[in-house]
A = this chain, B = another copy of it.
């Protein structure tokens, strides 16, 4: 059983901890938290051993039992998932490398923090020979899933994607915008294209990104010049075969991202998470060799299955297909809505 240390217990860390708990071949060695905040209390209530990322006395005065320091947790772990805020992961790298502990970073870190950037369906094998990897950001993960699926079958000559990003996660109160639409970044193409190249080096992609006053999901307007002739129905079948891509049928009330998240809650998923790329079936169009669609990406949870697979790639014995199948089955990834028996 792989002992997984979770460093950082925010949006990603708490989800990965739960996901690891549900894996038969993994266990959570413990959770390191910098400060004794409410999230630390949640970690304890969820039964995780709490390690002090910062000064232990602060935790004691908060009446929280700590099992040790962050360094102790690394010692206890076969692999570490670093889910600290962007830039903090890089500060921890020396600690992981000094103890030869394989480490998984998140997409907020720079690309050179780890040996590879990881999206399970696109380049699982590259992670197998690495001592560290970086799970791609939510937008890059969503694009890599869609484009690698298309590329493996019909081919992708090039792609242009407009990424309309949610301004902040639901619990965040100090980020905007409110009642505004921002080019973000202004410079084109956006950095997402370069980030995607770390996962799919041979796919030519240009990205343009904006930020808007929403917390629910990102929405991508995708245009792909296909490498070979394909029909909408053949692409629909192709995407339907990929459990980490869900097709949203027409006439089922999926007017926006909010209704997709509501379905996640109605299905009883943890935190109502939607781990799948959600593609509107009625948006799918092919004309003049160009495929277009809209897809929604749940920024808080899409990388959770990828983190689980990254653990197996680095220190497990499963190949990519086996790992993804196990992760999907244990988490419940896969939304077959083709029968339209969904909320209207």
Which residues of A approach B to under 8 Å, CB–CB? 160, 162, 164, 166, 177, 179-183, 186-189, 206, 208, 210-219, 221, 223, 250, 255-258, 280, 282-285, 287, 290, 292-294, 296
Contact = CB atoms under 8 A, between A and B. Distances in A.
Contacts of A216: 179-181
B256 A182 contact: yes
A186 B280 contact: yes
A55 to B, nearest CB: 37
Contacts of A296: 181
Given A206-B223, A290-B206, A294-B208, A285 B186 contact: no
B188 A292 contact: yes
B208 A292 contact: yes
Contacts of A255: 182
A294 B213 CA distance: 18
How many monomers of this chain does the complex have? 2
B290 A214 contact: no
A208 B164 contact: no
Contacts of A280: 183, 186
Max chain B Cβ within 10 angstroms of own Cβ: one of A164, A217, A223, A256: A256
Nearest to A165: B181
Contacts of A218: 181
A210 B206 contact: no
A294 B221 contact: no
Given A212-B164, A212-B214, A219 B189 contact: no
B162 A221 contact: yes
A219 B183 contact: yes
Contacts of A177: 214, 256, 258
A181 B215 CA distance: 9
B212 A294 contact: no
Contacts of A285: 187-189
Interface centre among A164, A181, A211, A221 (most CB of B within 10 A): A181
A188 B293 contact: yes
Contacts of A256: 177, 180-183, 211
A219 B343 CA distance: 32
Nearest to A222: B208
Given A181-B256, A183-B256, A210-B219, 8 more contacts: A162-B208, A179-B213, A180-B256, A183-B294, A186-B280, A186-B282, A186-B283, A187-B283
26 contacts: A162-B221, A179-B213, A179-B214, A180-B256, A180-B258, A181-B216, A181-B218, A181-B256, A182-B219, A186-B250, A186-B282, A186-B283, A187-B282, A187-B283, A188-B283, A188-B293, A189-B292, A206-B290, A208-B221, A208-B223, A208-B292, A208-B294, A210-B219, A212-B212, A212-B214, A221-B221
